[in-house]
Amino acid sequence: MYVIGTAGHVDHGKSTLVQALTGIDPDRLREEKERGLTIDLGFAWLQLPSGREVSIVDVPGHERFIKNMLAGAGGVDLALLVVAADEGPMPQTREHLAILDLLDTKGGIVVLTKCDLVEDDYLDLVEAEVDDALAGSRLAGAPKVRTSATPRAGLDELLATLDRELEKTPRKRDLGRPRLPIDRAFTIQGFGVVVTGTLVDGALQVGQEVELQPGRLRARVRGLQRHRSKVDRLDPGTRAAVNLSGIHVEDVRRGMVVATPGAITPAHAVDVRLRATRILTHPLAHDAGITFLSATSESEGKLRLLDRDELRPGEECWAQVVLQDPVAVVAADHCIVRTPNETVGGGLIVAVNPRRHRRNHPATLDALARLLEGTPADRLIDLLLSGPIPSQDVPARLGVEPADATAAIAEASRDGRIHEASAVLYPTAWLDAMLARLEAVLSSFLEANALRSGVPREHVRSALRLDPAVFTTLVAHGVARGTIEERSAYLAPAGYRVTVSSAQQHAIDGFLAALRDGRFSPPTEGLPPPELLTYLVEQGLVEDTGAGVVFDRQIFDEMVQRVREHIEANGSITLAGVRDLFGTSRKYAQAFLERLDALRITRRVGDERVLR
């Protein structure tokens, strides 16, 4: 599906041409009909001779409504640059042409209208004038079709030319990230809120939850229409009307973007490869106040020129636009920069919400150049400089199709610069830096807790403030690097061993001997201090029931074995049964059995214990 847009000076016959081609009057406002002047965008559609269906966006030519023109020009694949034969190229012919260039509109056809008003040899002169205007623009060499709407002439040729040119137009990309920049929002009795716009970058489906940005409004897609017919799903590149539930029309305005929740972060600043128009009247100075427009959104802003003090007609530069109001744009979107009187330039957004850059700073300019010209793999590395991202976000973040994203990931993984785990991409340098911090957490914990042979994983994870999946990947990275070890629920520096003083060793030996002497009724007085006891547990020398009773490890294992055998032979065992089996007191039997329950060896059923 393609979107065709009109362009050209006021009164040159754009709307009349759309009506002649489609039978649909694109001027829908009463004021437009009364004044014979297009004020806001109009929409129509058409089936071409090839059977191809296309949407048409009709824009106003009047200088005063240039912002409405810009809102419509955003999603256009192919432009019909309309020039009235009796007037030839006029100021907005040139301004619209410059805009199409700045927006990188993929194709175009020059349509000479009102040819009925002039003689044929005059038409040749007009065409020569048009050629001059087109020189150096993307539309230079574009096909020209001579038409008139009244009487109808040249329209069939125009349709055939449209088919031919669309054949050459690149198909719409699908990044799996639908975006619908809203150009109109209204209510329909009985349906609620409807928004319209050109859907790009992904499909929309009825029932889907969406988010409107800026503003983070949640809504659900209640219905979809394409060219007035109901559909369940819309593919990118389509003019769409979306019926939304869960939202009030007064909260919705042109410039908001319908997207999947979380997909878009509104921009407060953008880095831009900015090109000045060739028809720019005054050079553009650093720090100039400007209006920034992209798709249907608009904000006032300040233009910081990063590599020069002023930008002259036709020049290109790096710039950072600091926006007054947030706009929902993403990298690789096009934008236009205006002053109150003219379209001064525009270009490609290369980064959204970047840092405030130093001016004339070579490293910054290099990084910006890589964003623009680097291979997808290079740009992926740059993207990952700020930390891990989910693999599935790569197509949208790089603005490339999923297959190209996969290739970029493979290329960057091959030389070890990135690392993919559980569908998340990690820059290896980031993992190494994080691993150094993890090692520091281990060292400081083990310094403060001299008898601990490791650090609880959870302690390390919360010290690093990492989410569990990232933490697991980091630990695996450290183990693979050979700098840390996993010891069940503990982490330790590789090869770490506790050092015990001779006095501590003496106390340990005495305590263990007393436990062995006490067998099934070990002493409960004079237990070692908690850190020493934890050490003995970690070393596997004792079993601490947690109820003030500590058993020697081997004795505890023997008791477990005998209880198992008893239950296997008799079906169950009671507290008294345990007491008698080991010739001990009720206190020990209870502490032991509760430990068995906690270890999930036994389970309590009434007064009996059975095996789990």
Ligand X SMILES: Nc1nc2c(ncn2[C@@H]2O[C@H](COP(=O)(O)OP(=O)(O)OP(=O)(O)O)[C@@H](O)[C@H]2O)c(=O)[nH]1
Contact residues toward ligand X (CB under 6 A) are: 10-16, 36-38, 60-62, 113-114, 116-117, 148-150
For position 15 contacting Mg ion by CB under 5 A, the verdict is yes
User: Smallest distance, Å, CB 3 to ligand X?
Assistant: 18
- For residue 516, the 8-state DSSP code is H
Region from 32-40, 237-245, 248-256, 422-430 binding Mg ion, contact rule CB under 5 A: 32-40
User: Smallest distance, Å, CB 117 to ligand X?
Assistant: 5
Which residue, 86 or 401, has its beta carbon nearer to Mg ion?
86
User: Smallest distance, Å, CB 336 to ligand X?
Assistant: 18
- d(Cα 276, Cα 336) in Å, to the nearest integer? 10
User: Smallest distance, Å, CB 13 to ligand X?
Assistant: 3
Size of the site for Mg ion (CB under 5 A): 3
User: Smallest distance, Å, CB 44 to Mg ion?
Assistant: 12
115: number of Cβ within 10 Å: 23
- d(Cα 393, Cα 261) in Å, to the nearest integer? 13
Site for Mg ion in 55-94 (CB under 5 A): none
116 binds, among ligand X, Mg ion, none (CB under 5 to 8 A by kind): ligand X
Placement of tokens 């349509």 in the chain: 111
Which residue, 117 or 285, has its beta carbon nearer to ligand X?
117
Strand 179-188 vs strand 257-259: parallel, antiparallel, or unpaired?
antiparallel
- d(Cα 612, Cα 609) in Å, to the nearest integer? 9
Q: Which residues contact 69 (CB under 8 A, 6 or more apart)?
A: 7, 59, 60, 61, 96, 99
Placement of tokens 């192919």 in the chain: 78
Placement of tokens 């290896």 in the chain: 428
Q: In what order do the strands lie in the sheet with 573-574?
A: 573-574, 608-611, 602-605
Residue 121, Cβ density class (10 Å: 0-12 exposed, 13-18 middle, ≥19 buried): exposed
Cβ atoms of 227 and 53 within 8 Å: the answer is: yes
114 binds, among Mg ion, ligand X, none (CB under 5 to 8 A by kind): ligand X
Residue nearest to ligand X as judged by C-beta position:
61
For position 38 contacting Mg ion by CB under 5 A, the verdict is yes
User: Smallest distance, Å, CB 66 to ligand X?
Assistant: 11
For position 6 contacting Mg ion by CB under 5 A, the verdict is no
Which residue, 16 or 299, has its beta carbon nearer to ligand X?
16
User: Smallest distance, Å, CB 68 to ligand X?
Assistant: 10
User: Smallest distance, Å, CB 374 to Mg ion?
Assistant: 42
418 binds, among Mg ion, ligand X, none (CB under 5 to 8 A by kind): none
Which residue, 64 or 437, has its beta carbon nearer to ligand X?
64
DSSP string, 430-494: HHHHHHHHHHHHHHHHHHHSTT-SSEEHHHHHHHHT--HHHHHHHHHHHHHHTSEEEETTEEEET
Placement of tokens 């997909």 in the chain: 263
Q: Which residues contact 174 (CB under 8 A, 6 or more apart)?
A: 201, 202, 203, 235, 236, 401
Which residue, 9 or 397, has its beta carbon nearer to Mg ion?
9
Which residue, 118 or 258, has its beta carbon nearer to ligand X?
118
Q: Which residues contact 253 (CB under 8 A, 6 or more apart)?
A: 182, 185
Among 12, 14, 457, 579, binds Mg ion (CB under 5 A): 14
Region from 33-41, 162-170, 369-377, 513-521 binding Mg ion, contact rule CB under 5 A: 33-41
Which residue, 155 or 441, has its beta carbon nearer to ligand X?
155
Which residue, 42 or 522, has its beta carbon nearer to ligand X?
42
User: Smallest distance, Å, CB 21 to ligand X?
Assistant: 12
Q: How many CA atoms lie within 13 A of 255 on its CB side?
A: 18
Binding site for Mg ion (CB under 5 A): 14-15, 38
